[in-house]
Amino acid sequence: MPLFRRKKKIAPSDLLTPNHVAIIMDGNGRWAQKRGMPRIEGHRQGAKSVRRACESCVEFGVKHLTLYCFSNENWKRPKEELEFLMGLLKQFLVSESKTLIEKNIRLSIIGRRDGLPEDVLQEMDIAVHKSKEMTGLHLCLAINYGSRQEITDAVRQIANLAKSGLIDPDQINEETISQHLYTSAIPDPDLLIRTSGEFRISNYLLWQISYSEIWITNRAWPEFGREDMLEAIADYSRRHRRFGGL
């Protein structure tokens, strides 16, 4: 008998695939700095990981992929880095629009529009419009997003409806709140992935991930590829989701 057993190779067909995967894409800048490169190079390489993540989700049968691209708090970063990030986002939207169509991927974007450059907003709208008829993977980008801000916006909308007499405050329930979130048309994530080994939620989909399985990897986002996605989904497949029951 061999002293060590060979690790069984994971077959995607054997997996219980999550319907919705959400990812906190962390570690771009630190990945670059560890290699003696400027932080912006980490963001450039991280953009390539977005394509790999989409291809993996298509291959494994994931229906929804939500990526935390830019948070409300990211505005605190140096001006030069912010300008590069906005330019990179615009470039991604322009260059990947054709790929979205070819891969039958539908794009949507959540977050506040306030503060984003006009040319970026224009490309966002164009890319969303071009892909609106696609029926494959739904790719949702969280841009200028913060979950507390999202919940605040939802509460404000509901309060205005109640003030106008269009909704009875006594009838407000969890479903009411969910229907007024940015993600109202998207099912809650089954699996939340965070890269770069950080154990934080970082103001991301706080309402929606109440019962999501969480998987954390030490690999930085620019390193994240197909095998990492496969490992995350395999780990998800082994878990028993009880939703508060037995």
Q: What whole-number distance in Å separates Cα of residue 225 and Cα of residue 136?
A: 20
DSSP lists the bridge partners of residue 216 as 194
Of the residues 26, 28, 190, 228, which is catalytic?
A: 26
| Contact by Cβ (8 Å): 31, 197 | no
Q: Which of 14, 19, 28, 74 is catalytic?
A: 74
- Indicate if 173 belongs to the active site: no
23 Cβ neighbours under 8 A, 6+ residues apart: 53, 65, 66, 67, 68, 192, 193, 194, 195
What are the residues whose beta carbons fall under 8 Å from the beta carbon of 230, sequence distance 6 or more? 10, 12, 15, 56, 60
The helix/strand/coil state of 117 is coil
Residue with structure tokens 């990812």?
A: 23
Q: Are 10 and 234 in contact (CB under 8 A)?
A: yes
Rounded Cα–Cα distance for residues 134 and 21 (Å):
19
26 is a catalytic site residue: yes
DSSP codes of every residue in 133-152: T--S-EEEEEEEE-HHHHHH
H helix runs in the chain, sequence order? 28-34, 39-60, 79-102, 118-130, 147-163, 174-179, 226-237
Catalytic residue list? 26, 74
